[in-house]
C-alpha cells in the first residue's frame, strides 16, 4: 500500500523553479530518502508534502488525503522534523511537548503517558524538566523527533535529521529511526546529503535541480553504474593485459600505467584470478560502486563538490540554533 503518492508536484518561487513536477510513491513502512546537493529542492518538496508550503502545481496524497484539499487531515496524520531548529529553548523539554500536544489536540489524559513513551524512545525522560537551552545539539534533535511523534503520526518527515551532529550522535539517531520502522511500522520520509545515510534507506530518490533523476534501492542504483573496478599492477603489464583479454574476455583499460578492468564481483573474481594466473601481480585495488559514483554517473558532477563542507554547514547550523 502506498502512503504517499506524488503526481507532478511543482514549486516555483518568483522565476526560480525549485521543484520541477516530480512524481513518485512511498510504500507503507518504508524508509524513503531524498538525496541531493544544496538547493536541489529537498526541503521544498518535504515542506509541500507536510503542508508547510503550498505547491504551484501538481498534487499529492499523504495517508490518503490530498495535500491541496485535505490540508488539516494531512497535517494531523504526519509528524515533521524541520531542517532548522524549532524548539523554544526558554522552555523545558516537557513544556515544549505540552505546547505541541495542545496544537495537535492530544488530550490531557493521554499526554503524560505519551510524553513518557516518546521521551523514553529517545532517552530523554530523565531530562524532561530541564530547559532546552541546557541541551546539546544531539539532545535537541532527539527532542524534536520525540515531539514529532507525540500525536502518533503514521508518517514521519525528517528534513536533514542529522545535520551538524557528530558521527556518534548521528549513528545513535539512526538507531531510533530504525526502531520506529521496526516497532511502530512507521513510514519515514527523510532528506539527506550524506551518502552513508542514504545507504540505510530502503529506497532513494536522487534529486538534482528540482528533478528526480533516479529512484531505486541503494543496491540497484549502484548496480546501475556498472560492476566493481579492479586495478592491477604488474612488472609484466603487457603480458597480463593479453591474458586478461584472452582468458577472461575482459576489456582492459591501460591508459594510466595500471590495468583497470570491470568485473561483476571483485571479491570472488580476485582469488580466482590469483589462483589461475602465472604472472606476478605487484598491487591490487578493488573499488565497489558507491552512491557518489551513482550521482556522478547520472549528473556528471560530484555531490560533495557542490555541497558546502561539513564544517561550514555545521557552523552555519549552530549559528542558526543560537550558539556562538
Ligand atoms: N523562500 C524562497 N524564495 C526563493 N527561493 C527559494 C526559497 N526557498 C528555497 N528557494 C530556492 O529553491 C531551491 C531549492 O531549495 P531547497 O531549500 O528546497 O533545497 P534543498 O535541497 O533543501 O537544499 P539544502 O541541502 O541546502 O537544504 C534553491 O535554489 C533555493 O535557493
Ligand atoms: Mg534543505
Strands 187-192 and 155-159: parallel
Its domain, for residue 120, covers: 2-216
Please tell me the distance between residue 151's alpha carbon and the centre of ligand 1 in angstroms.
29
Q: Cell 533516479 identifies what position?
A: 214
Q: Are residues 212 and 231 in the same domain?
A: no
As for how many domains the chain has, the answer is: 2
pLDDT at 324: 42
Q: Are residues 87 and 160 in the same domain?
A: yes
- CA 126, distance to chain mean position in Å, is 30
Q: Are residues 257 and 182 in the same domain?
A: no
Q: Is position 70 within any domain?
A: yes
Q: Are residues 142 and 262 in the same domain?
A: no
Q: Are residues 111 and 193 in the same domain?
A: yes
Q: Are residues 207 and 234 in the same domain?
A: no
pLDDT at 83: 85
Which is nearest to 212 in space by CA: 13, 15, 18, 24?
24
Q: Is position 178 within any domain?
A: yes
Q: Are residues 200 and 252 in the same domain?
A: no
Q: Is position 295 within any domain?
A: no
Q: Determine the Cα–Cα distance for residues 43 and 159; give it in Å rounded to an integer.
A: 7
Query: Per residue of the chain (324 residues), what is the pLDDT tens digit?
Result: 999 999 999 999 999 999 999 999 999 999 999 999 899 999 999 999 999 999 999 999 999 999 999 999 999 999 999 888 889 999 999 999 999 999 988 999 999 999 998 898 888 999 999 999 999 988 998 999 999 989 889 999 999 988 877 788 788 888 888 888 898 889 999 998 888 889 999 999 999 999 999 999 999 999 998 899 999 999 999 999 999 999 999 999 998 889 999 999 999 999 999 999 999 999 999 999 999 889 888 888 887 655 655 555 556 665 555 544
Count CB neighbours of 278 within 10 A: 7
Domain boundary, last residue among 216, 243, 260: 216
Q: Determine the Cα–Cα distance for residues 120 and 173; give it in Å rounded to an integer.
A: 13
pLDDT at 122: 85
First to last CA, the chain: 46
Q: Are residues 84 and 196 in the same domain?
A: yes
Please tell me the distance between residue 36's alpha carbon and the centre of ligand 2 in angstroms.
9
Q: Cell 496524497 identifies what position?
A: 61
Q: Are residues 251 and 204 in the same domain?
A: no
pLDDT at 262: 94
Ligand 1 nearest atom to the CA of residue 207, by list position: 21
Q: Determine the Cα–Cα distance for residues 315 and 203; give it in Å rounded to an integer.
A: 30
For atom 18 of ligand 1, the residue with the nearest CA is: 41
Based on its alpha-carbon atoms, the radius of gyration of the chain, rounded to whole angstroms, reads 24
Q: Are residues 133 and 247 in the same domain?
A: no
Look at the alpha carbons of 183, 189, 193, 195 in this order and tell me if their dihedral is positive or negative. positive
Q: Is position 106 within any domain?
A: yes
- What's the CATH number where 261 sits? 3.30.70
Please tell me the distance between residue 183's alpha carbon and the centre of ligand 2 in angstroms.
28
List Cβ neighbours of 27 (8 Å cut-off, separation of 6 or more): 1, 2, 3, 187
Q: Are residues 61 and 132 in the same domain?
A: yes
Q: Is position 304 within any domain?
A: no
- Ligand number nearest to the C-alpha of 47: 1
Q: Is position 302 within any domain?
A: no
Which is nearest to 157 in space by CA: 10, 52, 292?
52
Please tell me the distance between residue 39's alpha carbon and the centre of ligand 2 in angstroms.
7
Q: Is position 319 within any domain?
A: no
For atom 10 of ligand 1, the residue with the nearest CA is: 18
Number of H helices, E strands in the chain: 13, 13
Is any ligand 1 atom within 6 A of the Cβ of residue 15?
A: no
| 98 in Cβ contact with 146 (< 8 Å) | no
pLDDT at 305: 59
pLDDT at 317: 60
Amino acid at each position: 500500500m502506498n502512503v504517499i503518492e506524488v503526481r507532478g508536484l511543482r514549486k516555483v518561487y518568483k522565476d526560480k523553479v525549485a521543484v520541477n513536477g516530480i512524481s513518485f510513491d512511498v510504500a507503507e513502512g518504508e524508509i524513503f530518502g531524498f538525496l541531493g546537493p544544496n538547493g536541489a529542492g529537498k526541503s521544498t518538496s518535504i515542506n509541500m508534502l507536510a503542508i508547510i508550503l503550498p505547491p504551484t502545481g501538481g498534487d499529492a496524497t499523504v495517508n490518503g488525503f490530498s495535500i491541496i484539499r485535505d490540508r488539516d487531515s494531512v497535517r494531523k496524520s504526519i509528524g515533521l522534523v524541520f531542517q532548522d531548529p524549532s524548539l523554544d529553548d526558554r522552555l523545558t523539554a516537557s513544556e515544549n511537548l505540552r505546547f505541541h500536544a495542545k496544537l495537535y489536540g492530544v488530550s490531557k489524559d493521554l499526554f503524560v503517558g505519551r510524553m513518557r513513551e516518546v521521551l523514553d524512545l529517545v532517552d530523554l525522560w530523565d531530562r524532561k524538566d530541564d530547559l532546552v537551552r541546557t541541551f546539546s545539539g544531539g539532545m535537541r534533535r532527539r527532542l524534536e523527533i520525540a515531539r514529532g511523534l507525540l500525536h502518533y503520526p503514521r508518517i514521519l518527515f525528517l528534513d536533514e535529521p542529522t545535520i551538524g551532529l557528530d558521527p556518534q550522535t548521528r549513528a545513535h539517531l539512526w538507531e531510533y529511526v530504525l526502531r520506529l520502522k521496526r516497532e511502530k511500522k512507521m513510514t519515514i520520509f527523510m532528506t539527506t546529503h550524506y551518502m552513508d545515510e542514504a545507504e540505510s534507506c530502503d529506497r532513494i530518490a536522487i534529486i538534482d535541480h528540482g528533478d528526480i533523476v533516479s529512484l531505486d534501492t541503494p543496491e540497484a542504483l549502484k548496480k546501475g553504474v556498472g560492476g566493481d573496478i579492479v586495478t592491477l599492477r604488474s612488472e609484466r603489464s603487457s603480458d597480463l593485459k593479453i591474458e586478461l583479454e584472452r582468458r577472461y574476455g575482459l576489456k582492459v583499460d591501460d591508459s594510466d600505467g595500471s590495468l583497470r578492468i570491470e568485473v561483476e564481483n571483485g571479491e570472488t573474481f580476485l582469488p580466482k584470478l590469483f589462483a589461475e594466473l602465472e604472472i606476478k601481480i605487484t598491487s591490487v585495488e578493488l573499488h565497489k560502486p558507491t552512491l557518489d559514483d551513482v550521482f556522478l554517473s547520472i549528473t556528471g558532477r560530484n555531490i560533495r563538490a557542490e555541497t558546502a563542507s561539513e564544517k561550514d554547514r555545521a557552523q552555519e547550523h549552530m549559528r542558526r540554533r543560537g550558539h556562538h
